[in-house]
């Protein structure tokens, strides 16, 4: 699949900041019953700037999910309810398959056919991947399944349901929200302007911009060179590039999430937390409760639990774990490299459950199990990042081959590396104190306006002084 080109309303653009300020100002001027119209119009405007025709795909997904949920709720016949559920799942997943996995599936069949001696014509579909499609389809599927299970009542107002799916802070790259958390907030929209929301939101946005422009985008100047020329680098250089990429993707994605959560907070709306110091995890299971938490929650709820309960005993648990992480990898991209990325975590989770928990961590005790487990878990993540960052089996194999050959570390560009070290140093100090949900609001309540204003000024000053102005779109936009 071909990634969608960047549009003019990226979170790290002046255009978005101006749009956000205008939207927030109008939002609090409008009566509560009209605010959903403003948010929906703004959301569709933002998304339409990328490609107007993809608004039709979003509308199709919303309409099918809206209608299917209502029909399921209105019927007491279980057979009818299941048919509507299957119809919605087929429509939503079919849309995702065509735009994200059709080309990958065909190329895999060509490869398998060649391996067994069955020749198939080479053909590339070159379908452009609609930006954010994996996120909003997962959100609609979660909503429809929750209605089927009776967890939530269906939304009868089409416009407000459309807003739930397309809400601009989280439409393109999450967090993937559950209807029971976000829908009631969008239903009311009667909140008054609160200083705590403003300062917490604005501070979080500035911190997200720092993470993206100062840390992630500067690291990209190093990692892009190394990963773009793997054959010319060895040993320590590759290891450092891998280590830096782990922080690049964290700051890129969590920086986006900070801006998303901060933007919604300016409107008095709470989005779900998505990161909680994941690199401090002592097991891979713990890691996935701290990294991209809303995706993990979705996969656990709608994939792991049905399989684990449907197949009794350890076989069901093992099947559920592998299926969950297989789909996690596939969700990230239509590539066997991404599937391997997911399965690395799946097999390690099983290894932890079967061997490490009993043979190692239980004997070490809680403190020493963390001392050992944190670096082990982090290096499992680093190993999986090889498959995440490289594009093909050949590239991943070459990376591993050159990594173990040894070789001294190459700085490549002293100025860039100095900015990287500065950004990482500030990141580690600040993030260590931001370990609870809604921390920025708590900081405002504890220390007041001066603290938040000071943090904003420092973040923006560092961004202007050391930020990479040539940084591109967020990594997770390609998913």
Q: Which active-site residues does the annotation give? A: 332
Percentage helix, strand, coil, to 5, in the chain? 75, 0, 25
Instruction: Name which of 356, 353, 326, 354 is nearest 342 in CA terms.
Output: 326
Q: How far is CA 416 from CA 12, 235, 420, 427, 475, in A?
A: 20, 20, 6, 16, 20
Give φ, ψ of 327 to 5 degrees: -70, -30
Q: How far apart are CA 387 and CA 420, in angstroms?
A: 23
Q: What is the DSSP letter of 97?
A: I
Half-sphere exposure of 169 (CA within 13 A, CB side): 28
Half-sphere exposure of 351 (CA within 13 A, CB side): 12
DSSP codes, 165-219: HH-TTTTTT-----HHHHHHHHHH--PPP-HHHHHHHHHHHHHHHHIIIIIIHHH
Q: How far apart are CA 328 and CA 387, in angstroms?
A: 14
Q: How far apart are CA 431 and CA 278, in angstroms?
A: 11
Query: Burial code of 64-86, b = ≥16 C-beta within 10 A, e = fewer?
Result: bbbbbbbbbbeeeeeeebeebbe
Q: How far apart are CA 264 and CA 174, in angstroms?
A: 12
Strand partners, 2: 128
Residue located via tokens 């774990």: 321
Give φ, ψ of 117 to 5 degrees: 90, 15
Q: How far apart are CA 60 and CA 66, in angstroms?
A: 10
Q: How far apart are CA 448 and CA 196, in angstroms?
A: 9
- What count of other Cβ atoms lies within 10 Å of the Cβ of residue 348? 23
Instruction: Name which of 15, 51, 321, 300 is nearest 176 in CA terms.
Output: 300
Query: Computed over its alpha carbons, how large is the radius of gyration of the chain?
Result: 23
Query: Burial code of 411-422, b = ≥16 C-beta within 10 A, e = fewer?
Result: eeeeebbebbeb
């Amino acid at each position: 699949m071909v990634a969608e080109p960047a549009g003019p309303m990226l979170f790290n653009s002046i255009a978005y900041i101006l749009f956000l300020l205008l939207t927030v100002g109008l939002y609090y001027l409008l009566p509560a019953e009209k605010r959903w119209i403003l948010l929906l119009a703004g959301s569709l405007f933002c998304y339409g700037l990328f490609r107007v025709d993809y608004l039709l795909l979003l509308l199709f997904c919303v309409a099918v999910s809206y209608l299917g949920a209502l029909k399921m709720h209105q019927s007491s016949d279980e057979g009818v309810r299941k048919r509507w559920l299957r119809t919605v799942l087929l429509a939503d997943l079919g849309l995702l398959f065509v735009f994200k996995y059709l080309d990958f599936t065909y190329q895999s069949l060509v490869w398998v056919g060649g391996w067994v001696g069955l020749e198939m014509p080479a053909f590339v579909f070159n379908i452009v991947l609609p930006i954010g499609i994996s996120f909003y389809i997962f959100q609609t599927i979660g909503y429809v399944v929750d209605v089927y299970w009776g967890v939530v009542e269906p939304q009868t107002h089409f416009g407000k349901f459309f807003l739930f799916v397309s809400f601009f802070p989280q439409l393109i790259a999450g967090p993937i929200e559950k209807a029971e958390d976000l829908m009631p907030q969008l239903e009311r929209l009667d909140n008054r302007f609160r200083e705590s929301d403003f300062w917490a939101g604005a501070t979080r946005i500035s911190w997200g911009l720092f993470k993206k422009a100062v840390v992630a985008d500067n690291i990209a100047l190093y990692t892009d060179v190394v990963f773009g020329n793997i054959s010319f680098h060895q040993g320590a250089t590759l290891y450092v590039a891998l280590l830096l990429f782990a922080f690049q993707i964290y700051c890129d994605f969590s920086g986006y999430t900070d801006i998303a959560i901060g933007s919604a907070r300016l409107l008095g709306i709470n989005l779900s937390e998505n990161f909680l110091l994941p690199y401090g995890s002592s097991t891979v299971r713990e890691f996935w409760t701290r990294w991209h938490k809303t995706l993990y929650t979705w996969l656990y709820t709608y994939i792991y639990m049905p399989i684990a309960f449907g197949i009794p005993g350890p076989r069901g648990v093992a099947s559920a774990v592998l299926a969950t992480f297989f789909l996690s990898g596939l969700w990230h991209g239509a590539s066997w490299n991404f599937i391997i990325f997911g399965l690395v975590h799946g097999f390690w989770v099983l290894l932890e459950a079967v061997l490490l928990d009993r043979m190692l961590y239980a004997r070490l005790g809680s403190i020493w199990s963390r001392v050992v487990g944190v670096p082990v878990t982090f290096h499992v993540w680093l190993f999986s990042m090889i498959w995440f960052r490289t594009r093909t089996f050949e590239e991943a194999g070459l990376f591993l081959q050159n990594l173990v050959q040894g070789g001294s570390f190459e700085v490549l560009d002293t100025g860039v590396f100095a900015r990287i070290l500065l950004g990482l140093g500030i990141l580690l100090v600040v993030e260590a104190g931001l370990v609870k949900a809604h921390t920025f609001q708590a900081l405002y309540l504890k220390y007041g306006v001066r603290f938040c204003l000071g943090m904003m000024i420092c973040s923006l000053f560092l961004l202007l002084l050391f930020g990479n102005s040539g940084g591109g779109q967020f990594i997770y936009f390609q998913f």
